[in-house]
Chain A
Amino acid sequence: MSPMQLFIEYSIVGIAAGGIYALIALGIIVIFKASHTFNFAMGEMMMLSAYFFYAATVTFTLGPVVGMIVAMVGSILVALVIERVAIRPMLGRPFIAIVMVTFGIGSIIRGVVGMVWGPNEMNIPAILSRSPVMLGDIFVPGKTARAFAIAVVIVVGLIAYLRFSRAGVALRAAAESAVTAYSMGINVRNVVAFSWIIAAITGCISGVLMANVNTLTPHLGMIALNVLSVVILGGMASIGGVLVAGFIIGWLEAITGLFLPSEFREITPYVLVLIILLVKPTGLFGGKEVERI
C-alpha cells in the first residue's frame, strides 16, 4: 500500500470515528448556548449512559431496544437532576464557578460508577455489525462505519430540529440575551433544562455507540475532553460547526496514530487548540457577530 493510500485510509477511518465526537460536541454546544457554561461532565454523562445500557441488557437481560430506552430515560433523568440541583442555583454566578461544578459532577459520576461496576473493562451486547464496509479499495471497520452513520443521522436531525423548531428559536434567543428572552415570555430556566435533555440524548447515543466500538470502562468518557477542546477551537459559535469539530478530532486521532507513537494521540487536540488560539484568539469560526455596518 502506498503512503498516499495509507493516508487516505487512515483519514477516512478517522473521520468515521468523528461522527460520535460530533454527537458529543453537539451536547456540549447546546448547553453552552443555553447557559454559557462548559459542561465538563459531558464525558461522564455518556459513560454513565453506557453503563445504564449494560445494566439493562446484561444484568436485567432486556433486549437492546428496551435497553436503549432504559439508558435514554435514565440519562435524561440524571441530566435533569444535575441541572436542577447543581446548575440552576449557580446560574448568574461566575463562569469558572459553574465550570468547576460540572467538573465536580464528572468526578462524582466516575467515582460512583467505579464503586458500582468496578474499574474493569466490560463488554455490552453487540448492536453494530462487524462486517466491514468497503469504500472502493478502502476498508472501513464495520462497527466504526455503522456508528458513524447512526451518529451523523442523529446529529443532522438534531441540528435541523434546533434550526427550524420554536424550541430551537428559544434556545438561540436565550443564547443571545437571557434578559431579552425573558422579556419575550420565554422561561429561560426551562431552556437550560431543555439543553441538558438534548445533551443527555446525544451523550446516551454516543456513549452506547462508543462502548460498542471499543469496550466499556469508567474512562470511556475521557474523549469528551478532547471534543471540548476542539469545540472551543471552533469558537463555540455555531451549532452547525459540531460536525466539523467531530471530524477534525477523529481525523487528528487517526493521523497522529499513523505518524507518531500512540501516546501522542492524547495530546494532539490540545496542541492544535493552543496553536490556533495563539494565532486566532476567537477560534476558527467564532468572533464574527452580526452587526450593521
Chain B
Amino acid sequence: MTHVSPVVQRLRITFGKSGPLKYTSNLDMAKIWERVLRRAGLPILYTRGFNTRPRIQLAMPLPLGITSECEILDIALRESIEIDAAMLTASLLRVAPHGLSIHAIDDVDLREGTVQSRIISAEYRIHFVDPLEAGVLQERIADILLRKTIVVEKVRKRKRSVMDLRPLIIGLRIDETGDLIAHLSVGERGNMRPDQLIEAMGLADYHHHAHRFKLHLLPK
C-alpha cells in the first residue's frame, strides 16, 4: 500500500494573544484557531479516522496569563491557496476573537520538519505594575545571576522531583523603560516560565505582566 500525504500546502501563522485571550490555555487556543480557520473558510486538512481533528499545531505552549506577539501555528491544507499575506490576515482577523493578532503568514516547505523541535528559548518583557523601589530590580538580577544553582521542587503526576533552574536563565537585563527583559530556555530540553523566575527573584508579591516577544529557533 502506498501512502500519499494528503497535505497539499503548509502555512505558518505568527500570531499574538492579548486581553481576555491571555486566560485561554494552549489546548483551548488550538480549538479557537480551529474555529477561526473554519469561519474564514480555509481548506484545513482533517486527520482520518473515528475522531477527526484538524491538522493544526501550536509550536510552543504559552503559560496562562502571559500575552504574546510571537506564537507560532502550523496548518496543513487539503487544497492549495494563493497566499496574499495581507488579504489572508484581514480575512482571518475579521472572524477572530478579541485579543488575537496576526503578525506574519508564511508558506512552509512540505518537507520541512516540525518547528517545535527547533525552538530553544524565549524572551519576555516583564512589567511591574506595583512599582519597585529604585535599584531593587538591578540588585535582584545581579543576585540571581551570581547564584550557582536555583533548585526548585517539582510535583508532577504526584511524583516529587527537584530541578535546577539556573542553567535555564540565558540572560536578564533592564530595558530603557525599566521593564525586566528575561531570556529563558523553553522546550523539551528545559523549560522555565516567567513566574518561576519572578518567584526565584523574590518579587512574586509585586503585581506584574509578562509578555513573550520573541522565540529563538535553531537554524533548519
Do A and B assemble together? no
* Residues of A participating in the B interface, judged by any CB pair closer than 8 Å: none
* Residues of B participating in the A interface, judged by any CB pair closer than 8 Å: none
